[in-house]
Amino acid sequence: MKIGIIGSGNVGGALGKIRGKNGHEIMFSSRNREKIKTMAEAIGKNACYGLPAEAARFADIVVLAVPWGQAKSALLSAGPLNGKILIDCTNPLKPDYSGLAVGGTTSAAEELAKLAPGASVVKAFHTTFAALMQSDSRMFGSTNPTGFYCGDDSAAKKVVADLIKETGLEPLDVGPLSYARYLEPMAMLMISLGFAQKMGTNIALKF
């Protein structure tokens, strides 16, 4: 599949690398193309790089992995995503990481879906630390972590479940996109355990 990465940092870089190794065509993007040239070249013939709008045009699947404060502008700069799958990896953290900036009656995923009305939005990959996605394996002994996801389009969710499996996580569909209201706090809990409780980032959830 053709996958466009908007936000080629810790998460986007790791996911792009895994996808490239699995034979997908990847376009990394950045507001500064030169910053990600080496990242794309390291993957080889399956990867190229460009601006966010170029990655969105190129892709069947768009991965959004930017800080919450930039998510809406990054999505708008990508242009129309009609007919595409949009995987929302963001965590809507407050700028000081003390909690979530949205939640309860809505979620980052639902707010972003309003800005991309033609896209099938799936929330995924946000409860797993980037450090784990960057490592050679997602296994903890003989156990792999759960890759929680939710969305309203069952065909899009099937595609994302396959990508989750390919990443080495066990996909678990938790329901409609509005259930991101429950999945996003799970990621906040992981961030708190990892940093405030000093457990580090080599931790993950298993259902």
Ligand X SMILES: NC(=O)c1ccc[n+]([C@@H]2O[C@H](COP(=O)([O-])OP(=O)(O)OC[C@H]3O[C@@H](n4cnc5c(N)ncnc54)[C@H](OP(=O)(O)O)[C@@H]3O)[C@@H](O)[C@H]2O)c1
Q: Which two structure tokens, joined as six digits, stand for 200?
A: 């580090």
H/E element, 62? strand 61-64
- By CB under 6 A, is residue 185 in contact with ligand X? no
Q: Give the largest CA-CA distance in the chain.
A: 44
- Is residue 16 within 8 Å of residue 3, measured between CB atoms? yes
Q: How far is the CB of 30 from ligand X (least distance, A)?
A: 3
Contacts of residue 153, defined as CB under 8 A and 6 or more positions apart, other chains included, come to 85, 120, 122
Cα(10)–Cα(62) distance, integer angstroms: 16
Nearest CB to ligand X, comparing residues 18 and 74: 74
x-marked contacts with ligand X along 62-101 as a string, rule CB under 6 A: ---xxxx-x--xx--x-----------xxx-x--------
Q: Which residue is nearest to ligand X (CB)?
A: 9
H/E element, 187? helix 180-191
x-marked contacts with ligand X along 129-158 as a string, rule CB under 6 A: xx----------------------------
Among 160, 11, 2, which Cα is nearest to 71's?
11
Contacts of residue 154, defined as CB under 8 A and 6 or more positions apart, other chains included, come to none
Which range, of 4-12, 16-24, 157-165, 172-180, touches ligand X by CB under 6 A?
4-12
Nearest CB to ligand X, comparing residues 6 and 62: 6
Nearest CB to ligand X, comparing residues 23 and 197: 197
Q: How far is the CB of 67 from ligand X (least distance, A)?
A: 5
Q: Which residues bind ligand X (CB under 6 A)?
A: 6-12, 30-32, 35, 52, 65-68, 70, 73-74, 77, 89-91, 93, 126, 129-130
